Amino acid sequence: MHKPDTENDDVRTIGERVERVSDSAHEAWTQTRGAFSDLKDAIDLEGRVTRHPYGTIAAALGLGYVLGGGIFTKLTSRIVRLGLRIGLRVAVVPMLTDQIVGLAETLARGGTSAAQERGKGQPGSKAHEGSKRHEGSKRT
């Protein structure tokens, strides 16, 4: 009676398993490398850095700040508040200034609006038609 060599069978199956795992890991590594290569080509990171170096640095700093958990901090709220304050001054103040100047000009003219003033001499306006009628009555 010959006893089967189970130890040899275990080595063969473990060896086969290790080989299969190694092949799977190699295949996964190859696919991952291919995916990163495709991503690198799509993003064109090197080209962006060459064309816009300061913008790339600013984007990297911002991304690092966000990923580092800096969104919900006091510093971020101060920065946002300052940005809103500056943005409102840049956007709203000139618009309000124009409105106030227009209102002051209207009041200085005695209450006639700038649109009425502009429309006085234009054909088709009521002021123009009234002046035509007035001129017509003078001629007859």
Q: What is the mean pLDDT of residues 113-134?
A: 52
User: What size, in residues, is the chain?
Assistant: 140
- In the chain, where are the structural domains located? 116-140
- 10-28 pLDDT per residue, tens: 556 888 888 888 888 888 8
Per-residue pLDDT at 140 = 47
- 90-109 pLDDT per residue, tens: 888 888 899 999 999 999 88
> What's the predicted TM-score (pTM) here?
0.36
Using CA atoms in the order 47, 51, 54, 60, what is the torsion angle rounded to 10 degrees? -20
**Residue 111 token pair:** 């209450």
Distance between CA atoms of residues 112 and 108, nearest Å = 9
